[in-house]
Amino acid sequence: MIYLDNAATTRTLPEVVEAMLPYFSEYYGNAGSIYGLGSRSKKALIMARETIAGTIGAQANEIYFTAGGTESDNWALKAAYESCQNKGRHIITTKIEHHAILHTCKYLEECGARITYLDVDKDGMIDLEQLKKAIRPDTILISVMYANNEIGTIEPIEKIGEIADEHGILFHTDAVQAYGHLPIAVEKMHIDLLSASGHKFNGPKGVGFLYVNRKTKLSPFVHGGRQERGRRAGTENVPGIVGIAAAAERASLCMEERTTTECRMRDYLIDRIETEIPEARLTGHRTMRLPGHVSFCFEGIQGESALIMLDMQGICASSGSACTTGDPGPSHVLLAAGVPEEIARGSIRLTLSAENTMEELDMAVEALSGIVEKLRGI
């Protein structure tokens, strides 16, 4: 098997699994208990919170553990809207956000929110001047993803944060694809809220976190007990939290070396595809893109058909977000970037990791080239 779908999920590393295992069967106490077994779990939560905070330049009490990126996005938007209604009801986001943001915005519109959806250019980049013009006296939140999951484009997050800060507006970024792969400094970037998910950087599924700036007052997301300082009730997923912290620490320590390797392989893969497959259209920004992210539209084919044929040859890839698999329509991200609908249907996303080899990439290009030619012949 050649795995080229790391934007959908990554392999949980052996050292991460090893760190988690004792908290399933040996240190299984409830972190809310006062006896020693529970205290061991509570200590693990404290250490994990400190580890995560250290990777983004935050304080430990600014990290809240969740069930993943979707929950973190929902919490950030819904709580910000609920907490800031005395100031206004206007939220600014983009047309290419993950559905965890877009569908939450639609829900908030039903609750009375006013949403502005920013356009993007052909590379998926927002226009900062359009952002400035969209700000109103009643704007309470700007939410722009750090890097796009479908086309890999990295947005100018620090500049967006500066604009939000100048106007006294909360700034949230969906960093699910970026965290663990790109440097993040929440204070320098003026980020008030940040979402991340463990399984995107070799951690376990079902666990993520939301960074909340200590000056930001958000209402609780899940009511019940006092877990997560009363903002997110429910018995803590201690093994998962230990796992996400172990993965985050490794990702932070190895980031520079891993990024160099992935960028080299990414550019090699892009060059081969553009050279060897006619009418291949790179999507996303050519340089301001995630290290291991390659996305193309191939004219004259259906992406889903190509994926099935790739799978038959043992190659795992995707046509976009795993959350929209089975949706017959073309990608909303590609349409927003101006890709014609008939071309957008031929999208293929190949997202690699430092564990991939050049030999695997060569095999993938050869397979893809033959599949595209065959589909076009049909």
Residues with a known catalytic role = 323
CB atoms closer than 10 angstroms to residue 301 = 23
Cβ pair 177, 22 in contact under 8 A: no
Cα–Cα nearest to 77, from 120, 115, 131? 115
Residue count of the chain, please give it: 378
The tokens for 318 are 């995707």
CB atoms closer than 10 angstroms to residue 271 = 11
Q: What does DSSP assign to residue 200?
A: G
CB atoms closer than 10 angstroms to residue 235 = 12
SS3 call for 70: helix
Cα–Cα nearest to 68, from 210, 223, 224? 210
Task: Round to the nearest angstrom and report the end-to-end CA distance of the chain.
Answer: 27
Residue 266 to residue 83: CA distance in whole angstroms = 42
Residue 250 to residue 259: CA distance in whole angstroms = 13
Residue 235 to residue 227: CA distance in whole angstroms = 7
Residue 311 to residue 301: CA distance in whole angstroms = 16
Residue 234's H or E segment, with its range, is: none
- Residue in the block written with tokens 């044929």: 309
Buried b (16+ CB within 10 A) or exposed e, 205-230: bbbbbbbbbeebebeebeeeeebbee
CA dihedral 322, 325, 331, 333 (to 10 degrees): -20
